[in-house]
Structure 1
Amino acid sequence: MAREPILENAVMLMLWQEEGPLTPRQVKSRLDETHPVAYTTAMTVLMRLWKKGLLRRYRVGRAYAYAPTVGQAQHAAQRMEGILREVNERAVALGRFVERLSSSDREELMRILSAGD
């Protein structure tokens, strides 16, 4: 079961790069290049992401095609917000996060914070 988050991340990255929804067969085919999986595994990952609300699905013949509900940047922001909600020492966590940023990311963060004033 340790592969689940890796596969979920791989599928999300794949879907964010696509122009439109993908069927489980298309997802499996693309996953096979880096993470060989059975069709049922690809289907399970898609269903799990759909149940989490990360994907929407569209009927395509007898199958469904899946696409992300939010963009990659919005998803990352939601994950960061969720992590911060779980931390008791938010200031420490934020400080450590900022320490690890590259100088260009730090400058971008400062620009964003300044624009909010």
Structure 2
Amino acid sequence: MRRLGDLEAEIMDCLWKWGRPATVRDVVDDINTRRPAAYTTVMTVATILFKKGWLTREKQGLAWLYMPVRSREAYSAGLMEDALGVSEDRPAALAHFVEQMSQDEVAALRKALRAAGQRPAP
């Protein structure tokens, strides 16, 4: 999974944060509270995200309503999987990763591992 570019990440962040379908105008207005962004640029990048399979869209009047296909958490998990994939020693990479975690993160990892162990095998 390729890491999102800066504007791609800003667009996805808006949509993940809102948890609802949104127009390009909604996204542009939000980004413009932090920095200038051209409507046409955001529209182009949203279309690219749609073509890459990151967004779905449906027509509402003259505008498209965009929605993320994956959650922010699924995106993060994909990045972590890719990072592990470049290691020749996955257990060692995982050990180094876990050493960097806070106690709360370790507790969350333990909980996730317990939940994964309770799922039926595929």
Give the TM-score normalised by the residue count of structure 1. 0.83
Please identify runs of 4+ aligned residues in structure 1 that moved more than 3 A: none
Q: Give the root-mean-square deviation of aligned CA atoms.
A: 1.9
Q: How does 1:10-89 map to 2 (within 5 A)?
A: 10-89=10-89
Show CA shifts across 1:5-40 (max 9, x none). Answer: 222112111101224211111111111112321111
Gaps of 5+ in 1: none
Give the distance between the partners of 2:47 and 2:93, measured in 1 at CA: 33
Q: Check if 1:105 corresponds to 2:109.
A: no
Give the TM-score normalised by the residue count of structure 2. 0.80
> Post-superposition shift, 1:64?
1.2
Percent identity among equivalent residues?
37
Figure out how many residues of one structure are paired with residues of the other and give that number: 114
Gaps of 5+ in 2: none
Give the distance between the partners of 2:88 and 2:50, measured in 1 at CA: 30
